[in-house]
């Protein structure tokens, strides 16, 4: 691989990709959390002291920050981009947020690409499904393939189309988690958790709820704050479509409240 990769944000996704792909010194990472430098070293990539250092001369940029920071980093870091650099926005934000970010990147001479990540990066790693949208989508697919990504699909030339698929899908995926927490809180308080789960198993056989319930709760306990930020973007997505996001707004609150708090599970539950 002869391209220089910049990773803006070096959390779970960035470190997982870097370790799996073996980019080595061809990748430079920047994160506002300086303690991530040690993880970058373990992954073999350069940890830049500033966003400008990370972006200098980079041909491919992966923006992997939190949902609430996605627009800010596009606005603040666009001026550091090399001419024609591909800015692959992999953050889980609303289509309108991505279109606003695209304005900053394109005005600075970069090429903005809307990328939706459709599965947890671990264990999928470089095989994680990526939906790609934007005028530079084909160039992005080529660059991402050269970087080791093995599961990409172009869904259109319009910025926000990939994000719309992800955000609307998230209404169900994260909504089920939030509903599970509400169900288990009530079932535990009533002392009927076993009976409720058994009843669900009797009506739905795709996966035992004795496995699904603890898995959904663990996702919220560990990632509730990040998921709440993402679901706020889903609220914006539905509102922009003229849909009242009543349940989705409730999911935001439940995800945030559940962060860091587990729920007792009945005997027989295994994530």
Residue 207 burial (CB count, 10 A): 10
- The rounded distance, in Å, linking the Cα atoms of 127 and 148 is 9
Bridge partners of residue 27, in order along the sequence: 5
Stated pTM of the model: 0.82
What is the rounded CA–CA span in Å between residue 195 and residue 211? 15
Tell me if 71 sits within 8 A of 97, measured CB to CB.
yes
Q: Which domains does the chain have, with CATH numbers?
A: 5-158 (3.40.50.720), 163-258 (1.10.1040.10)
In angstroms, rounded to a whole number, what is the distance separating the alpha carbons of residues 219 and 214?
Answer: 9
pLDDT at 117 over 90: yes
Q: Model confidence over 180-215: pLDDT tens digits?
A: 988 988 898 899 999 999 998 888 767 788 888 898
- pLDDT attached to residue 243: 82
Nearest-angstrom CA–CA distance, 32 and 10: 9
What is the model's pLDDT at position 212?
Answer: 84
Strands (E), 13-137: 27-30, 46-47, 60-63, 86-89, 111-117, 130-133
- What is the crossing angle of helices 193-203 and 209-240, to 10°? 80
Segment 34-81, tens digit of pLDDT: 999 999 999 999 999 999 999 999 999 999 999 999 999 999 999 999
Tally the residues of the chain.
Answer: 271
Q: What pLDDT is recorded for position 186?
A: 87
- Predicted pLDDT at 204: 72
């Amino acid at each position: 691989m002869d391209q220089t990769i910049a990773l803006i944000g070096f959390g779970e996704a960035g470190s997982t990709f870097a370790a799996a792909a073996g980019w080595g010194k061809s990748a430079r990472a920047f994160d506002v959390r300086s303690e991530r430098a040690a993880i970058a070293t373990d992954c073999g990539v350069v940890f830049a002291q500033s966003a400008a250092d990370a972006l200098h001369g980079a041909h491919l940029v992966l923006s992997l920050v939190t949902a609430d920071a996605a627009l800010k980093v596009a606005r603040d870091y666009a001026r550091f981009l090399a001419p024609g650099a591909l800015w692959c926005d992999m953050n889980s934000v609303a289509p309108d947020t991505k279109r606003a970010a695209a304005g900053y990147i394109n005005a600075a001479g970069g090429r903005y690409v809307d990328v939706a990540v459709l599965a947890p990066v671990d264990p999928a790693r470089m095989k994680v499904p990526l939906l790609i949208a934007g005028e530079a989508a084909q160039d992005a697919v080529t660059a991402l393939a050269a970087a080791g990504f093995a599961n990409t699909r172009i869904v259109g030339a319009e910025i926000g189309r990939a994000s719309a698929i992800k955000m609307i899908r998230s209404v169900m995926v994260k909504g089920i988690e939030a509903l599970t927490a509400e169900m288990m809180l009530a079932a535990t308080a009533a002392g009927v958790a076993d009976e409720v789960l058994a009843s669900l198993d009797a009506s739905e056989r795709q996966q035992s709820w004795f496995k699904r319930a603890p898995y959904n709760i663990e996702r919220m306990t560990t990632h509730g704050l990040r998921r709440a930020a993402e679901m706020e973007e889903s609220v914006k997505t539905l509102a922009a479509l003229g849909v009242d996001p009543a349940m989705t707004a409730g999911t935001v609150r439940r995800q945030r409240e559940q962060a860091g708090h587990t729920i007792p599970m009945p005997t027989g539950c295994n994530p």
